[in-house]
Structure 1
Amino acid sequence: MYQIKKDRLPELFAAMAEAQDLFLPIRKCNQTNYGLWSEEAQVDLDTLKTVKSGKDCFFPQSETLYNCKKEEGKLSIDPAKLTDTPFVVFGMRACDVQGLKVLDNVFLNDPVDSFYAARREHGTVVAIACHEPEETCFCKVFGIDAANPAADVAAWFVGEDFYWKALTKKGEALTESVKELLTDADEAAVEEEKKQIQAVIEKLPYSHLDLSRFTPERTMELFDSPLWEEMYQPCLACGTCTFVCPTCQCYDIKDFNTGSGVQRYRCWDSCMYSDFTMMAHGNMRTSQMQRFRQRFMHKLVYYPANNDGMFSCVGCGRCVSKCPASLNIVKVIKKLGGEG
């Protein structure tokens, strides 16, 4: 384990950015999101949760797939270049790192998504433990330890020191590249920090939600529950929950006329929208209740049934704090689980 003084982090960022792109939480217009580091950037590591997670660095909100042109009667297709250079995503939290594992099960299984796979291959994740978890956090419910982020490098803030521990070969390679800035550290201070974080987590209001009813055996029972008609009523179908979620993976593919050809790109989509999965004959889900039910059944039942029990929610709490109608997965878990 290594450490560096907190006030020397700009030196660490500069060293990492010398050989590769560095993405980390940047504050702009009173919002904190992941962005490319520069000396002028307002780095914000104090905000516990960025508006959107670091998912953007691996599965961008919008990306070009290929460009088509027709010249002198001949059609040419120019595929977008896959990521082929290393980059670092610095400052992710344990819940968002788990979110990448959820995406891995989707995009790295056959058929493999080459764009996502290239970014995962070249990206190194430095995750920071949550010094002060918030009331909207409930990662513990899904077996995630906010005190021990399982990334390429795990890091902790303790007082005026920043502690650093490589956990994978990628993490070791990154550590080697900045080692001259780091000094050896005793893990005792970090162990105390972990205990403090875990003590806070135990006291959070949503840390002990009961998931026992959400099993494959109860799929139809949950699907047919009359409670959906009650729960969905305040939903505005705005899609905010899906766009701030670190595990949502739905996207649409669209064509844009550039004037000299066609650009095909993909962009995030939302199962909460009425035109989601629209086909020639119409939409399979004709009501907002059906769309609302689909979102939460996927998170809590369908996905774990097909991924060895792994839930497609990581308890980050973004939907709890961002939904304008105060609807979120916590309310669904409580209601269907018999608590609310």
Structure 2
Amino acid sequence: MLALKTTWTLSAAFITLALAACGGEKAAPAAASAASGASAVSVDAEKKEIKIGTTAGDFGDMVKESIKPILEKQGYQVTLTEFSDYVTPNQALAEGAIDVNVFQHKPYLDSFKAEHKLDLTEAFQVPTAPLGLYPGKATALDAVKAGSTVSAPNDPSNFARALVMLNELGWIKLKDGVDPLKASKADIAENPKNIKIVEMEAANLPRSRQDVDFAIVNGNYAISSGMKLTEALYQEPSYAYVNWGALRTADMKSKWAQDVINAYKSDEFKKYALDRFKGYKYPAEWNIPANGASGSSAAASAPAAASAASASK
């Protein structure tokens, strides 16, 4: 059974049934058309319930505070499921337990759906809190020393981002030509400061700060734990990791899916997001740079990024 946190109470039996579903809506009885003379060409009622899944925190808040009201004004019923990991949301989407998920960047989606043979498609970008290097026991970049400890997310995609960040800072050196989306410990060519990288579940990174010198924390977990983006000592400059909302490929052209996409692209959502999520990286089509990112000054003084990192932008 999939482990998830919902905004409503569900019995275990209902969850099991939901996960076994294929995402299709049952056909509604044909409307009586004799009086109007209409032809009953279609007996499928238009889909009016949309189930959105996100990780806990900012993406869920976007649904509750903006997207849900926008869609409800169009007559939809919107339910939100908040997941506590990066695996379940794609499985739940593929199995039909939810209709849309919002939690991942494209490199992760591409890798996950290829590995698990899932027919999912990225549909729209969402404002995303960037990955950042935050103070732990050390409070400044120049406090790094021989043997400093840095906690980092342990899933391959985000760990690769962490390595690229450490490379940009000059704390490690990656091998020439390494794929920045797939970098691993084996790709570290030099580690002059003997940096000790402590891998752990992304959700545990905020709490790790008391035990390590620095922590590389995913933006959503930083926000949900009460951290401020402006506390970051450095933020990744790449826009390759602005997150996407995903749908089943077969649903992409449906009316309800287009309404979801349009809600996330609407001026109403954009205005809300710019006010509510300052310091985030925004969808590329908005043409708005992240603001309030304290990492910008650090970026200017950090060593130039490796050519591999530049290729990921």
User: Do Structure 1 and Structure 2 share a fold, with TM-score over 0.5?
Assistant: no
| Larger RCO of the pair (alpha carbons < 8 Å, separation 6+) | 2
TM-score, normalising length: structure 2: 0.26
TM-score, normalising length: structure 1: 0.25
